[in-house]
Amino acid sequence: MSLKKPLSLLLCVVFLGLSSCKLEDDRVNFRFVPLQILSVDLPESFELNETYEIRVTYLRPSACVFFEGFDITKEGVTTRNVVAIGTDFYDEVCTLATEELEASFNFICLYDEPYLFRFWTGEDENGNQQYIEVEVPVN
């Protein structure tokens, strides 16, 4: 008896099984959202080439929003814009209770000039971006 025939039949069955699979719901049910930063914990000064943990308290607006990380963009040599990013699962049933949570990131001091950190806190009534600004000198 040849192995070609059973192997060919098995491959056909596997192929048909895989090609007939169809996901019923393939729409996206989440979006990335900025999270309001309420407070930050930075050292009074930095030392060149040292690493620092920067702690942030942010607002979780509902039980359907989960912290993903930070979007940190460099503006100029020593200015850093920091936004906390969350994932909002908008088709889920959840509570709207807000919650203050903490997260952190590591920062390496690479320049001997003072650093300006701008932490996003939301928008004002006119849609203008608001920030907590903290300047940290380098020793």
Task: Give the tens place of pLDDT for each residue, 104-130.
Answer: 999 999 999 999 999 999 999 999 999
User: What is the extent of the structural domain holding 128?
Assistant: 30-136
Give φ, ψ of 41 to 5 degrees.
Answer: -125, 105
Dig out the tokens for 54 from the structure.
Answer: 């920067």
8 Å CB contact between 105 and 71: no
Q: Domain containing 52 — which CATH number?
A: 2.60.40
Using alpha carbons, select from 20, 31, 38, 7 the residue that is nearest to residue 131.
Answer: 38
Model pTM score: 0.77
Domain annotation covers residue 52: yes
Given a cut of 50, whether residue 20 has pLDDT beyond it is: no
Domain annotation covers residue 60: yes
Q: How many domains does the chain have?
A: 1
